Structure 1
Amino acid sequence: MNVFVSSPSDVYEEREILDGVVRDINNTWMDALGIMLKTKKWETNVPSKITNQDPTDIIIEEIGEYDIHIGIMWSRFGSPTNEYESGTEQEFRTALNYYKEYKKPLIKFYFSKREFRLETQEEIEQFSQVKNFENEIKNIGIIKYYQSIEEFRYMLFMELSICIKEEFIKSKGD
């Protein structure tokens, strides 16, 4: 199962944690269930190229299909694309449109509640966009909140383990 992670730059640590959680889940469940997770990230799955295309369009094109979309936000909304206020928003909306049409990928969105300080007008505007986005999507039922990196790691491990278990049960029913 391919897991795509979408986020702005301020949650670098969480993106790294995702790799570790995927490795731990594979070590825990792969032999028993025969299902393996693979992380798909722009850093590791998108080649550098010179083009006139928007970078997020390239990411979406190169990542291709995936089974699980993990979105993460904290204090930054990200950089605008040609069509959206941020690449993370564009990636989320693309995943949501696919889900509405094909019932996949499974979408999870995590919002950090860790403390931070807003010191510049740009930081205030970024956080305002995060809050607006959060309020817009909260009724979809995909949002989880975490207070610490440890809590994020635990939640991610549990959620992805459930995804693997459900995929195993579904594959046995086919």
Structure 2
Amino acid sequence: MSYDAKVFRILIASPSDVEEEREIAVKTIQEWNDLNSAERQIVLLPLRWETHTAPEYGKRPQEVINRQMVDHCDLVIGVFWTRIGSPTGVADSGTLEEIERVAGQGKPVMLYFSQVKKDPNQINLEQFAKLKEFKEKTFPKALVESYNTQIEYRDKLAKQIEIQLRNLIVAAGDTSEEDAEAGSSNISLEFCDLETGDNLGQEINLETTYFDVTGLEDIPDYKPNLPEESSSKSISRILSRTNSDYYREYVRYLVNYSMFKPIKFWLKNNGIIGARDIYIDMRISTDMEDLRVESSSSFKIQKPEKDEDRSFSVSFGDILTGEGLEVSQSGDVWDTNMEIRALQPKREVKSRQTMIVGGKSSGTIDFQVRVYADTLSEPILQSLKINMEVETVEILAKELLIDSGVLVSEELDEKAS
């Protein structure tokens, strides 16, 4: 489906010894478009002389490039390694002429200098000396970047294109600088409904029941009801597979199932700038003396089976789809974190990761959250809160089994005898 979009042209200027970096720049811009263009109605167009100029006779080559391409760009990415480039008759190189021309028009210039090692025998000393001279002139009056690997270059470029795009949007008159700054750093983390995925806000109430069970030792072993005509050999085989602790395990299952609750999180980018590499760090504290915070991937609420040969089933069922948040405990605090690769502007997502909380007494669970992203100059600090209301019910183990419908009173008396 077609859509209207604002186009920003990004000129890639460099000498011939950073051809791979030129390709990386094009690919990074294309990846940004794939992720953001349709949603934000913005297209970034990479400009290179190889693809955006046509031959003309009787004109200085760089003059043709300037008129056909350079003067139409909105931003320049300049990349250097050991060369400065070939002279144009006006400047020491075409790359420098392009950079100085665009900078003179008041447009942003992003400069990157490679620190990758190179065989000294392959370095043109005259070119290297001119590059050093250019650095000495540039460093005092410009903010530049260096990189030691092409992966580092790609990561820095992806992040800094987003930052520069914010300024381009302001310059284009689409929003104010204050709105752009606020919009680029407005990522919120909240709780979400496990079944619907709806946003529940930053404070929720959870109600649980803790069964304070006594008399577990009075619960008899489980024995299946065997037909009278069964052979002794068949009876022996059935009894050998029978889970004699079935009733006692079912009591423990009912206690845990009532006491623990799974929770998930909801994340939204309220800003106008897409965010990548989102990292969320959470520190959890409480005034509950017996709080437990567990990962749903390692802590299972399991429903026992009567037959020991059969595997247990997880009774939280479809609610606990996805991955468990890994939790570490140190004293009275718990730490966990989650990562999201990218989140487009004005979009919201339900996390796939889940944790489980529970305790024997009422209280509050406090989350201190730090949100990091490539577009954030500093982390966003947030607070989340769970009000945990725990009802304590004192009950005999046999009464819990009867109330849950696992067995009836007469059946329990019969098995005890």
**Are the structure 2 counterparts of residues 49 and 42 from structure 1 closer, same or farther at C-alpha, using a change threshold of 3 Å?**
same
- Greater C-alpha radius of gyration: 2
Q: Would you tell me which structure has more strand in proportion to its own residues? A: 2
Q: Distance in 1 between matches of 2:120 and 2:57?
A: 35
Tell me what 1:37 maps to. 44
Q: Which of these residues, 22, 28, 33, is aligned with residue 35 of structure 2?
A: 28
Q: Distance in 1 between matches of 2:131 and 2:165?
A: 30
Tell me what 2:112 maps to. 110
Residue deviations 1:61-111 (CA, integer Å, cap 9, x gap)? 110321111111101111011111111111111112111xxxxx2111111
Tell me what 2:22 maps to. 15
Q: In angstroms, what is the RMSD of aligned CA positions?
A: 1.8
Amino acid corresponding to residue 153 of structure 2 in structure 1: F
| Structure of greater relative contact order (alpha carbons < 8 Å, 6+ residues apart) | 1
Tell me what 2:54 maps to. 47
Residue deviations 1:132-166 (CA, integer Å, cap 9, x gap)? 10110112223110111101111111111222344
Tell me what 2:273 maps to. none
Per-residue deviation, 1:20: 0.4
The question of whether the paired residues in 1 share the 8 Å contact of 2:52 and 2:68 is answered with yes
The question of whether the paired residues in 2 share the 8 Å contact of 1:108 and 1:143 is answered with yes
Q: Distance in 1 between matches of 2:64 and 2:169?
A: 32
**Are the structure 2 counterparts of residues 166 and 95 from structure 1 closer, same or farther at C-alpha, using a change threshold of 3 Å?**
closer
**Are the structure 2 counterparts of residues 4 and 91 from structure 1 closer, same or farther at C-alpha, using a change threshold of 3 Å?**
same
The question of whether the paired residues in 2 share the 8 Å contact of 1:35 and 1:168 is answered with no
Amino acid corresponding to residue 46 of structure 1 in structure 2: T
Amino acid corresponding to residue 175 of structure 2 in structure 1: K
Residue deviations 1:36-64 (CA, integer Å, cap 9, x gap)? 1001110100112333x222111111103
Tell me what 2:174 maps to. 171
Amino acid corresponding to residue 91 of structure 1 in structure 2: E
Unaligned runs of 5+ in 2: 1-7, 178-417
Tell me the percent identity.
26
The question of whether the paired residues in 2 share the 8 Å contact of 1:67 and 1:106 is answered with yes
The question of whether the paired residues in 1 share the 8 Å contact of 2:9 and 2:47 is answered with yes
Tell me what 1:61 maps to. 67
Q: Distance in 2 between matches of 1:167 and 1:7?
A: 22
Q: Distance in 2 between matches of 1:167 and 1:66?
A: 11
Q: Taking structure 1 as the reference length, what is the TM-score of the superposition?
A: 0.88
Q: How many residue pairs align between the two structures?
A: 167
Tell me what 1:102 maps to. none
The question of whether the paired residues in 2 share the 8 Å contact of 1:110 and 1:145 is answered with yes
Unaligned runs of 5+ in 1: 100-104
Q: Taking structure 2 as the reference length, what is the TM-score of the superposition?
A: 0.38
